[in-house]
Amino acid sequence: MSISKLVLTMKQGSWWIELPMQPSSIRSGRSPTLRWLSSFNPARFTSIHRDSQSSISSVSVRHRPHLVNVSFSHNSPAFLGEKYVITIEVMNVDDRELDIIADIMMQPSEIEAAVSSISYDQETWSNLIKGMSFGVLAPGISVIKTLYLKSSGAVGDRVVDISVQSRNVAAVPVLIASPVSPKSPALIADTGETLRTLVVPTVEPITASFNVSYCRSTKPQLGLADLSTYDEGYWDESDGGEATITAVWTCIGPHDIKVESLKLVKESGYQGMSLATSVESALRSEKCLMNLFPDLECMRSLGDDVPTAAKLHVPIPMRLIIRNRRHYRSANIVVQVEFDASDGFVLAGLRSGRIPVLLPGGEEILTWNLIPIDCGFAKIPKIRVTDRRASVGIQPGSSPEGQQETEVELVKVVDIRRDSRSEGNKIVPGVDRGFASTDVHVLVLS
């Protein structure tokens, strides 16, 4: 009788353990050396080491992992709106042929309004690419795949998780079905998984900052009886003011950016229009001048024609423009020059007086000559402008005979040489914030 197969079967809970045994003869009086079978094809054995005081032997069975190298190549950071290139290289550094596939998932972002997508092979996914095949890789062979990441909405880090799954494609031995053990695919599947995480910081390609400076218009004002003011499309250049807008574009990333075009969209309306711009020329430091209609104070006077430097004993002109911006009443203007000998000038012109009544929209120009008598920084004499009118609501007989109560409104004098104000100085457009006349100085040279 011959024994062709001998299997020792043990049951522990839900586990069935089958130990194939090799029939052998012990007629020689010596039992064979016992060994653990560590590999079926080719056959490899592991010696059994027992304790001298125990007849029990144990062995640890571990799955040999697949040796797969996964690397990324990309130029960080990514720009918003850019089709960001990410290359994935998978290399088989094992001694077995491996079938490689990969799953790529975009992690949800905690940044509000951040939107991302990944593209591969002309297809786009919002969160997951499943089953990207790298093919069967022989030992030492690598394959490169290219992904495209597109981010929009908000800056911040984008996180990409990649799972590279490998399977041994070597021939699997045909196992004879056991009458007691069920079929299990896990017993014959030799698979492995390599996990990687890629963090891609995302920044704005270009940041823009703007600064707006405002100044008043000094162009002459047309009277109410001028018929040209009724023409269609008439633009009052003396009203409102001018705003100079300065824009600074900055590339904050480490990569160069080529600007293909830059266009200024002009939106002219009844409150403003674009006067001049050089943004269509070569890119450099550019400025755009706009004419605005802010809500300026009704009564104001503009100082003008005072040079920043003068020569000793040579007269220089000083001009004061007074305009009545009100459309419903006249103005009774009184001008007073508070002259002091310590100011360093000799004044030729009106010291104190009342100018003719200014009708709504009217304008009056006063001129003085200043003769500097001292060198250095000389202070311009103070000019005080007031609007005087009878008080409203006075009952007849409530005031003494021959006397009439008046209201005095102080009008601020503005030096237009220093009239430009920017938003950085927290000057609100439409509010008269001119310097006082005591702040106006002229440098007198010998």
Residue 312: HSE in the Cβ half-sphere, 13 Å Cα cutoff: 7
User: Residue 130: what residue type?
Assistant: K
Same domain, 285 and 180: no
Q: CA angle, corner 254, sides to 248 and 258, nearest 5?
A: 60
- Give the largest Cα separation in the chain, rounded: 156
Query: Can you give the CATH number for the domain in which 180 is found?
Result: 2.60.40.10
Which residues form the domain of 285?
207-292
pLDDT per residue, tens digit, the chain (446 aa), is 777 778 888 888 878 888 777 666 555 556 667 777 777 667 778 777 766 666 666 667 677 889 999 999 999 899 998 899 999 999 999 988 999 999 999 998 888 888 899 999 888 898 899 999 999 999 999 999 999 999 998 999 999 999 999 998 875 555 555 555 555 555 556 889 999 999 999 999 888 888 887 777 777 777 667 777 777 777 777 766 777 888 888 888 888 888 777 777 776 666 677 777 766 554 554 444 445 444 444 444 554 456 778 888 888 888 888 888 777 888 899 999 887 777 788 888 888 999 999 888 788 889 999 888 888 888 888 888 998 876 555 555 555 555 556 788 888 887 776 665 555 444 444 444 443 334 577 878 87
Q: How many domains does the chain have?
A: 3
Same domain, 218 and 163: no
Q: How far apart are CA 147 and CA 132, in angstroms?
A: 11
Same domain, 218 and 139: no
Q: How far apart are CA 139 and CA 68, in angstroms?
A: 10
Q: How far apart are CA 206 and CA 113, in angstroms?
A: 19
Q: Is the overall model pTM greater than 0.75, yes or no?
A: no
Same domain, 307 and 329: yes
Q: How far apart are CA 217 and CA 417, in angstroms?
A: 12
Same domain, 82 and 137: yes
Same domain, 352 and 282: no
Would residue 55 count as lying in a domain? no
Q: What is the DSSP letter of 121?
A: T
pLDDT tens-digit profile of 70-82? 999 999 899 998 8
Q: How far apart are CA 330 and CA 44, in angstroms?
A: 115
Q: Where does a domain end: 176, 203, 230? A: 203
Q: How far apart are CA 439 and CA 382, in angstroms?
A: 9
Task: Take residue 89 and report the two structure tokens written for it.
Answer: 């290289």
User: Residue 377: what residue type?
Assistant: F
pLDDT tens-digit profile of 355-394? 999 888 788 889 999 888 888 888 888 888 998 876 555 5
Would residue 38 count as lying in a domain? no
For residue 235, give Cα distances in angstroms to 58, 240, 359, 401. Answer: 101, 11, 21, 49
Q: What is the DSSP letter of 106?
A: E
